Chains A and B, each alone.
Chain A
Amino acid sequence: MSKERKMTLTLPKEELMSSGHLACQGCGATLAMRYALKALGQKTILCIPACCWSVIDGPFPHSSLDVPIYHCAFETAASSASGVRAGLDMMGDTETTVMAWGGDGGTFDIGIQALSGAAERNEDLIYACYDNEAYMNTGIQRSSATPLGAWTTTTPVKHYKKERKKDMIGILAAHNIPYLATASIAYPEDMVKKFKKAKDIHGTRFIHIYAPCPTGWKSRPDDTVKLARLAVQTGYFPLYEIENGEKWTLNLKLKERKPITDYLKLQGRFRHLKEEEINLIQAEVEANYQKILKKCGL
């Protein structure tokens, strides 16, 4: 008789997201939600501003999530969540986790004021930003999270984005909030660990999730996880966390980093880039990675 072999499940079994949602094929944001809810569990209330997820969830009267959702105005994820938290507290429910769940436009751009306000007040909430680096829901317009060199419908090929991506983590780190982390859909165990850790901390917690978008990035739907992994492996999107604005920890140390071209070449949004532009991006990635290593004391 052969020995019984057991595989250990590294992620919680509980599924709070069902099929039948309205996401595009290969959507990174759906994986992000699935893992986040696995970590946080049933006792979670979501505030979702205008973003892909306000559509993905499904039209009234349907919802693909098994937790309550308050669909709120575009710039109000953090302020709405602050209110929900206060309301629940007054109702005597201090157990439920309140999570604002916004895209990069709702977080980096229109919602940054409310987010900064909530972070300064150290509101007891998790703010998760699933970053697909442009306004995808409205048809791929540039946001301040769009990286240097990218094509979008408002940064057409000849006039691709000339500005760097906004350093949102840096901005939030300056608010000295108790917990700040980056996460990637290609590293679900790491992501689940971070959400679980965040759940047990009080005060404002921010998790920046890298969530590729095949529709907007002009990439293959089956390359989504690969792209997210390459973003980490090239050092473009390092996995790290910051506690109380001071303690920086690199969660995945890379002995060698892959060249940024490995990541760029799989995406139509970077197809127009010439060698010197790619070299410039490579140098930017390198500088940013070194900066993070230094902060982490490495």
Chain B
Amino acid sequence: MKKVIMGNHALSYGAMLARAQVIAAYPITPQTQVVELLSEMCADGTLNAKFIKVESEHSAMAACLGASMAGARTFTATSAQGLALMHEMLHWASGGRMPVVMGDINRAMAPGWSIWTDQNDSLSQRDTGWIQFYCSSNQEVVDTVIQAYKISEKLMIPSMVILDAFALSHTYEVVEIPEQAKVDAYLPPFNPPYRLSSDDPHAFGGLTAPEHYMELRYKLQKDMEKVPALVEETGREYEKTFGRYLGQVENYLCDGAELVFVTSGTAGYTARVVVDELRKQGIKAGNLRIKLFRPFPFEQVRTILSKVPKVAVLDRNISYGHHGVFYQEVKSAIYRQPVQPAIFGFIAGLGGRDIAREDFKEITDYTLKNNRPQEEIIWIGVKK
């Protein structure tokens, strides 16, 4: 069934189709429609789930974790300040191996107050042990939520499904809503190996001496390393049922390109249009949209970029005192490769400033004109 829905509702439909059993959430702009629709679904029985209307995002994640420990499939969604407030519990989720799936609407961090998009909220949570997917269309959001449960529950690692504020969260697109029966066949009920049960008492998360702690973290990393292959496997399986492949990256005309944009989120959507325009002008451009950010898809990024002379990484975020985060990650992926492209780091679109085709033109001109970047960070559209 096709429906015209907003990005936020794509998250809700994903959670509904995945048959989330416990949802705990707190409202924040621009996430609200995600949980409004879910609370409606819970109230009218469309979705058989408990909805806990908590008093903060910290409690939202804490409640999801409690429910997950009891064996329930859980969902929440938040944004910016809410995600930052959850920070402690994000470590709790991954450290405790609780496969919560959460939607995050990329919104710029205050102050000054901003409700508009950039990626600093989710990228600040880079090292919390969550799988992170950055989406560029509403279809991808629905599909990714379902796939995320499959991956998370297999590895007992939580997932964050991320979309840009307004540019996607409030944009209406045609979405093919997967059939429930097919989703049920793809995603069996959550059945964790251990859970809180008075029939089988265990203590979870207690005091852990240096003798044991490191092994727990080693195991988490080892399981994280399994994610890329599992994204491929579950993505191909999804394609078989639903006709849409869900991969780690989107390779748009990168093979044989002279210039490749590295993008994420909705900027990756714009980049495809720009690539088509450039190709018409005779410039062999490509776009590598990174969808899976954590764990970083090293193998695919290396393979694709090692054949490209010039790479322009576009970051809608900044790690203060360093560079854009994707720029750092791409550079680290390329390090020690026998052939290395010239990599340019651009920052644009912070706090919801548009990233338009003209901005890509500026990026293209700079990258083609220079053999190497002349600045550590090349700012696009900033009033200096």
Report A's interface with B, CB cutoff 8 A: 42-45, 47, 54-55, 57-61, 63, 65-73, 75-76, 78-91, 93, 96, 113-114, 116-117, 120-121
**In chain B, what residue has the closest Cβ to A42?**
B198
Shortest C-beta distance, B317 to chain A (Å), equals: 27
A-B contact pairs, 6 of them (CB 8 A): A78-B59, A83-B63, A91-B72, A96-B198, A113-B59, A121-B53
Contact partner of B59 (CB less than 8 A), chosen from A54, A67, A68, A79, is A79
Shortest C-beta distance, A48 to chain B (Å), equals: 9
Q: Which chain B residues in 61-82 approach chain A with CB under 8 Å?
A: 62-72, 74
Contact partner of A84 (CB less than 8 A), chosen from B49, B70, B202, is B70
Interface flag for B1 (CB, 8 Å): no
Annotate B170-205 by CB proximity to A: 1 below 8 A, 0 otherwise: 000000000000000000000000001110111111
By the criterion CB–CB under 8 Å, are A70 and B54 in contact? no
In the bound assembly, the distance between CA atoms of A47 and B205 in angstroms comes to 11
Inside 8 A of B64's CB, which chain A residues have their CB? 83
By the criterion CB–CB under 8 Å, are B70 and A76 in contact? no
User: How big is the B interface, by class?
Assistant: 35 or more
By the criterion CB–CB under 8 Å, are A91 and B204 in contact? no
Interface flag for B374 (CB, 8 Å): no
In the bound assembly, the distance between CA atoms of A81 and B62 in angstroms comes to 9
Inside 8 A of A72's CB, which chain B residues have their CB? 62, 65-66, 92, 205
Annotate B85-104 by CB proximity to A: 1 below 8 A, 0 otherwise: 00011001000000000000
Q: A54-B207, A87-B21, A90-B21 are in contact. Are A68 and B66 (CB under 8 A)?
A: no
Q: A87-B68, A113-B55, A117-B54 are in contact. Are A68 and B202 (CB under 8 A)?
A: yes
Inside 8 A of A116's CB, which chain B residues have their CB? 55
By the criterion CB–CB under 8 Å, are B206 and A57 in contact? yes
In the bound assembly, the distance between CA atoms of A241 and B301 in angstroms comes to 64
**In chain B, what residue has the closest Cβ to A44?**
B198
Interface flag for B281 (CB, 8 Å): no
Shortest C-beta distance, A284 to chain B (Å), equals: 32
By the criterion CB–CB under 8 Å, are A69 and B59 in contact? no
Inside 8 A of A120's CB, which chain B residues have their CB? 55
- 5 residue pairs, one from A and one from B, having the closest CB atoms: A83-B66, A87-B70, A117-B55, A87-B67, A83-B63
Shortest C-beta distance, B351 to chain A (Å), equals: 29
Inside 8 A of B84's CB, which chain A residues have their CB? none
Inside 8 A of A68's CB, which chain B residues have their CB? 196-198, 200-204
By the criterion CB–CB under 8 Å, are A70 and B204 in contact? yes
In the bound assembly, the distance between CA atoms of A121 and B59 in angstroms comes to 13
By the criterion CB–CB under 8 Å, are A59 and B206 in contact? yes
